[in-house]
Structure 1
Amino acid sequence: MNANQIAVQKWTLVNYPEDHFVASRDAKYVSDETIELDNLQFDGTKESTSSTTFPPDHVVVQVEALSVDAFIRTMLDREAYHGSVKPGAILPAMGYGVVRAAGPDAKYKPGSRVTGILGATTVAILPNDQLNPVLIFPRIPSSLSLGYLGLSGLTAYVGLFGAPPKAPGRGDTVVVSAAAGAVGHIAAQMARLAGATRVVGIAGGPDKKAFLLETLGLDGAIDYKDETQSLEAQLDTQCPDGVDFFFDSVGGDTLETVLSRINQSARVVICGAISQYSSGNINKKNQVQGPSTYIKLAEKSASMTGFNVMHHPWAMAKAIPYLVWHYYRGNIHVPEHVEGDLKAFPSALESMFEGGTHCGRLLIDVDGSLGKARDRS
């Protein structure tokens, strides 16, 4: 295969999952196409798009790396907040890569590095308004654009400092659910840097508990999978004076349990509800498990704030210099767990909802440039 040819490999959706996503049932690997860059034309319209003809604002991106995110599962239902993927379409995934060809109206030229929802594929062909440039800083690897300097870091920052009525600080006991995950591990460290008196993380399994205590340096950790102690008992031990700030990405029973322990003027921030994603309930609003203890918010004059990170542009603008500064200072650990090539994508997505052992950002090394798991700090 010469330099002007790119082999197309991709994962497509077979069926809408009826409940949990199962890689062997719900995804199909396709690798029967090659793109000839010299044969591409960018003079078509949306209606006339073919395998070699595209609108003039489109670009061809050779994918280097992909991120495995919980929100992907929410897009695999018939109706979805983030947009639904139809059977036969490429599985969605955030990623970055190099532009190999571009139409005359595209703002990105060949050689540019871009990021966006490229999909679980080796080659993405998209309109340029669906892409952003990869942020380039000295001594900061491109892979961080998929997490720490991308959606994960921005979400953590907005959830702590942009969305709630008051950010965590001195005197606060902060609890972070999914604290070993892509967003949670950053949010927990931010809370510590903000001066919170006590930061406690919730995660599943002894390895993740050790990660929270030994790597992130949190004040306490809770293993919700611990068969010897209930979540309630562990919270009472780790937060004897109650909870002042709760950053929640789990929902369900975890949200219910923490709500019953909030203090006066506590702030509860709803980042997500991963416990409702795998079943598909998140897109069946009448089946989402909500908190029966919500009256605690009134009793404690507390607040519960949900947020979409894209609705807080001013906070996002502040987030990037904050994240870069603390990265250079070595104040925030940024672990990346790297899986194999594209073939590993659906099994990695499935394992995420089965409580996989990875900590931090889960990446797919599409072109072999990432290497093994590492701590970017």
Structure 2
Amino acid sequence: MVRLCPPKILLSQVIHILLTILVVTKFLDFVRYLTPNTSGLDHVFPSKDSNMLDFVVLNTERVSHAMKTLESIRNSSHNPSGMYAVPVRKMDNVEIVVIVSKRVGNFATQVIADLLELRHSTGMWFSLSICNASDSYFSELHDIMQYVSNEVNIINIHPFDSHGMDSYKSMLQKELVDYWKCLSIETLAKYVLLIEDDAVPTPYFYEIVSSVAEQLDRRPSIDFVKLFHPMSLRKVPYYFQLSATALVLSCAVCCFVFRSLDHILWILTISVYFTVVIGFFYSCQFFVDLRYAVVSSPYMVASESCCTPAVMFRSSSIQGLVRYLVSFSNSTLAKDDLLDIAPFVSRMTDGNAVVHIGFISSLRGTFVVLDSENELKRKTRTFRDLFSYIISLF
């Protein structure tokens, strides 16, 4: 015979559970507030209202700031005591190469300016090269080099000639061919970090790159590591982290209220609540930042299928990778798809070292929805939005 809990006791338990859940929810907000955000989104998109984001206006402001940065760096070369100091330390095991091509948006200007600003502000010298994937010395590249010609190396390749071919197919082939040509540079560094011209570094870029290089030193079987993956597409181990955290919090609530873990139904119900709340208000960036705050280094996880804004390659593996990519020179597969199916060992970092700012597709020339936009809008969500979302599911 099932013994029912008296109504007064049941009501008291429900009230205690609700109050405890409220306290835990506020505690999560407090932890999020105290934990440094390594995503770099607030640095790149400094808008207080994510619902009023205008990426064109923000891009114009960033380009203006980038040009001022380049000018300041040029002036500092004549005045070492200026704002930008001369780098005094070296990271000579990584060669950073930025692939640039003629496109709208002046994204390359921002990437180069931010990398150089990071190099001077941290006092850490790293080799920085520009791989020109255009068939000419286009105006944006000329504007960059007139400021920092003594700071950056230029690599001129023979870019893919797409004249007379179907536009989309030719763009895919050009992207692939130019990619492996830029990857084939001669270098003495142990690793080559290939960055696309619409991926600006986060404030934690140097720490992440240095840590990944150290981890690759200890794990020689890994051929390349992706340093960017959209947060909205990260699944493993995010789902495990989310469900495990929800279960732990649920058990903690039940231990506090009931002084035991015998109430399985309550544990499951509260666990569902925390799963929904954490999943709706926090992305996997929350777990990335928590872990980084503890160990101060990124964690390398199984590589998932997606894009290539920033990839670090082991130099000893590049020759084999290039041979593999060359064999697909006439393919209509995108370069990121080819890397995903490549017979090489790959990993990706749990957090991003760069922020993707290319809101205009280089392939189609159309506007695209950035993963950053989704992450920024998540920060302004309220419980009213959560209730509306739940109602919309029914």
Larger radius of gyration: 2
- Bigger helix fraction: 2
Interval containing the TM-score (normalised by the shorter chain) = under 0.3
Q: Normalising by structure 1, what TM-score?
A: 0.27
- Greater strand fraction, Structure 1 or Structure 2: 1
- What TM-score results when the alignment is normalised by the length of structure 2? 0.26
